[in-house]
Amino acid sequence: MTTATTNGALSFEGIGMVFPDGTEALREVTLSIAKGEFVTIVGPSGCGKSTLLRIASGLLEPTAGSVEVDRDRLGYVFQDATLLPWRTVRQNVELFAELHGFDSGERRSLSTAAIELVGLTGFENHYPKSLSGGMKMRTSLARTLTLKPPLFLFDEPFGAVDEITREHLNEETQRLFQSEGFAGLFITHSIGEAVFMSTKVYVMSARPGRIVAGFDVPFSYPRQPELRFEPDFALLSGEVSLALRGSHS
């Protein structure tokens, strides 16, 4: 069912998911993400977006269809930061490298680089309880960056932070997408976030989740914050919004 791929980073083929209680979460989802693509799926709450990510990562087996992905070094950024509260920022960032058996010297250099990438230098010895929501998310990002994953799965990671922090994190995510060269699958219900970061935006319908529309995002990288106020940006956001509304009725 799952095979390693070389040509594309991730592809879903006719994915269906019916939970044991009879809830149909996903129906006939087919989409693929190639290297160098940053794909966002927008959809209403509870439409099965997160279920799709859990299937991609192997945490959940679909009841129909197949997934093609290399799960060796998958990056998965959760809805909340899921930091271990008894570990400092540095220890949290080093967790994955630790689980993959890197020695302490390697771990240290990997974590130092990742912490610098997300702009948390100076906070290495802080515990999560003294960090803001945005800083926790940055730590979570840094932790995933240490393994240099070719594919990042983002499960609505910036839903809980305030608007301004979210915009900053969006800018940083697309900067990292540029500099680190990973492929991304991003789940959100914020249209602005989707259009700002992605190369492609898909719209998912309410339960059972199906892909009902897809849009190519033509803006070039690196994208500046001012892009959000361009007429083209507003136009595309409007189209996505209309597709999303259409899927609701």
Q: Which residues bind another protein (CB under 8 A)?
A: 57-59, 74, 76, 78-80, 82, 84-87, 95-96, 98-100, 127-129
Q: Which is nearer to another protein, 71 or 248 (CB)?
A: 71
Query: In the complex with another protein, which residue's Cβ is closer, 42 or 89?
Result: 89
202 within 8 A of 214, measured Cβ to Cβ: yes
| For another protein, the closer CB: 102 or 202 | 102
Rounded CA gap, 124 and 139, in Å?
A: 9
Closest distance of CB 128 from another protein, Å: 7
User: Residue 205 CB, nearest distance to another protein (Å)?
Assistant: 26
Phi, psi at 75, each rounded to 5°: -95, 130
Residue 139 or 174 having the CB closest to another protein? 139
Nearest approach, Cβ of 239 to another protein (angstroms)? 34
Tally Cβ neighbours within 10 Å of residue 53.
23
Q: Smallest distance, Å, CB 87 to another protein?
A: 8
SS percent in the chain: helix, strand, coil, step 5: 40, 25, 35
Q: How far apart are CA 202 and CA 40, in angstroms?
A: 6
Distance CA 63, CA 18 (A): 6
